[in-house]
Chain A
Amino acid sequence: MSMTITEKILAAHAGKDRVSPGELINCRLDLVLANDVTAPVAIKEFSKLGLDRVFDPDRVALVPDHFTPNKDIKSAELALCVREFARSYGITNYFEVGKMGIEHCLLPEQGLVLPGDMIIGADSHTCTYGALGAFATGVGSTDLAAAMALGECWFKVPESMKFIYHGKMRPWVGGKDLILYTIGDIGVDGALYRAMEFTGEAIQDLSIEGRLTMCNMAIEAGAKNGILAPDEKTKAYVEKRAKRPYRFYYSDPDAAYVEVKEYDVSQIEPQVAFPHLPENSRPVSEAQGIELDQVVIGSCTNGRIEDLRVAAKILKGRKVHPRLRVIIIPGTQEVYLQALREGLLETFVEAGTVVSTPTCGPCLGGHMGILAKGEKALSTTNRNFVGRMGHPESEVYLCGPAVAAASAVTGMITHPEEVMGDAD
């Protein structure tokens, strides 16, 4: 019987020859992760078990990234709780401020998540790692506590939904635009409980960064995981980072899908998702002229070097519109350093933006750019829910880095072509 890439990874980690959608299985885990918000709850639950060790101190990653550098006393105490746990349990992959990055930017970069892996994280955007051909999904803190003890977790095998992206992308269109367009098509529960498998010419054309962006937002369609087939680009990305073996899995040509969606990407404009759901995506031409108070470029969705390069290309030699605050957040220390070496940070500062140390910060309304009542932000983050970036009566529009940077120059939502001309 044929299987999808998701089913093959699940079967391999359940010790079975094959699995079918709907089946309940127990899977061995290659890595489990949590952050400064979710780890303390997991630690509290884990401590109830009275264990003196986690299943494998090399396979637990703790990344204090949400409210760090500590935004207030209570957040400092959460971070302290994680730090002390990491020390007393000998957690190898604990990342202190200074080494820390946004978890879903950091772990792929560090080679801690690899093709063929089975990963759970107490963070909904754990699905990001599917971009490397891994099965990765978000869970809550109690599931994470159980996984830290057992090194395994139960799953219901999801049905797979296939997305085929034909054709060549237009200038200024990237992974963010493809995923916003897709969520706009199927809705915020359009892939509920399912695996989203991304295929086609445009996916092959995407960089690893663009693929990570797409899989990152699978959760915004309700999916259990987002995944795509590994290839030469995957190999080039992981072979210099991996410290343990990995395996490439591929869907069989006759694997079963519950639904298949096909798109011609040459028809897709840069996208903007209107408040207050990611499914409210529209072509940027329909959002032109909406006046903004803040632009944010960063997050686990778009905080990678390629994103910053796109933004810098547009901001180079230009100035941020005087009405705006623009906050740029490199996803990791490595991204920060690379951006520094390439002169991107100089471009950003000269343009009049703020460049922050890595943090989730404003994406979830934590710190570093909270909105007042009635304010509007355009952001490369992943959620535009009510109150997501601050006051419940503020508004967040979502987009990719090109639209964000172009809009930073004009002060209103703008197609990058308007700032740059037709040249890409």
Chain B
Amino acid sequence: MQIKGRVYKFGDDIDTDQIIPARYMNTYDPAELAAHCMEDADPSFAGRVEPGAVIVAGKNFGCGSSREHAPIAIKAAGVSCIIASTFARIFYRNAVNIGLPILECPQAVEALKEGDQVEVDLVKGVIKNLSSGEEYHAAPFPPFMQGIIEQGGLINYVRERMKERA
């Protein structure tokens, strides 16, 4: 799967309260959540994010709460991929489970700037900076998780497991 989009940069330790504040969590409607995506980190983000956007952030992205509303808000806002130095573990699982592509690549995070255009090859884990021509390589998903992604998310994976049991 090829992804192409504009880079939106964020810092370290972006927590899930910044991604989607709890004051908006009396709903789980993706469009409503998207309208407040990243609000407490950058109140202008939801209004200016372009379709296909790539969020590039520092270490420990998505730390804090287990709220799946966070990756749902990001995905529904039109973000195509997140590249971070590291991800908090619950956010990492949630993103995979709902089919939001994420890559860990500190080298890309260091090099990419706000407004750069990037192309991402998820299967190969290759991130190409179209603005500078540079390439960065992220570690691919473990095969087990690749399997969940290939089956279209965790719920489809569970459906197969239930069939095996029946």
Contact B22 A192 (CB under 8 A): no
Determine the distance from Cα of A72 to Cα of B17 in the docked complex, in whole angstroms: 20
Q: With A37-B25, A366-B22 as known contacts, state yes or no: A124 contacts B64, CB within 8 Å.
A: yes
- B41 — which chain A residues lie within 8 A by C-beta? 386
The contact of B66 among A78, A122, A192, by CB within 8 Å, is: A122
Cβ of B40 within 8 Å of any chain A Cβ, yes or no, is: yes
The contact of A40 among B28, B40, B86, B98, by CB within 8 Å, is: B28
Residues of A1-52 contacting chain B, CB below 8 A: 24, 37-38, 40-41, 44-45, 48-49, 51
Contact B67 A72 (CB under 8 A): no
Determine the distance from Cα of A126 to Cα of B90 in the docked complex, in whole angstroms: 12
Contact B28 A44 (CB under 8 A): yes
Determine the distance from Cα of A189 to Cα of B142 in the docked complex, in whole angstroms: 22
Residues of A105-138 contacting chain B, CB below 8 A: 121-124, 126, 138
Contact B66 A38 (CB under 8 A): yes
- B93 — which chain A residues lie within 8 A by C-beta? 139-140, 143
Contact A189 B155 (CB under 8 A): no
Contact A140 B21 (CB under 8 A): no
Interface residue tally of chain B, by bracket? 35 or more
The contact of A143 among B17, B43, B154, by CB within 8 Å, is: B154
Cβ of B139 within 8 Å of any chain A Cβ, yes or no, is: no
Cβ of B48 within 8 Å of any chain A Cβ, yes or no, is: no
Query: Shortest Cβ distance from A54 into chain B, in angstroms?
Result: 12
Residues of B7-33 contacting chain A, CB below 8 A: 13, 15, 17-18, 21-23, 25-28
Q: With A124-B64, A146-B154, A385-B17 as known contacts, state yes or no: A24 contacts B144, CB within 8 Å.
A: yes
The contact of B26 among A48, A75, A222, by CB within 8 Å, is: A75
Contact A49 B18 (CB under 8 A): no
Given pairs A122-B68, A224-B89, A364-B65, 17 additional interface contacts (CB within 8 A): A24-B142, A24-B144, A40-B28, A45-B155, A49-B155, A138-B90, A139-B90, A140-B68, A145-B154, A146-B157, A149-B162, A189-B88, A192-B89, A364-B22, A383-B64, A386-B41, A387-B40
Chain A interface residues toward B at CB < 8 A: 24, 37-38, 40-41, 44-45, 48-49, 51, 66-67, 71-72, 74-75, 78, 121-124, 126, 138-143, 145-146, 149-150, 154, 188-189, 192-193, 219, 222, 224, 277, 364-366, 383, 385-388, 392
Chain B interface residues toward A at CB < 8 A: 13, 15, 17-18, 21-23, 25-28, 39-41, 43, 59-60, 63-69, 71-72, 86, 88-90, 93-94, 97-98, 142, 144, 153-155, 157-159, 161-162
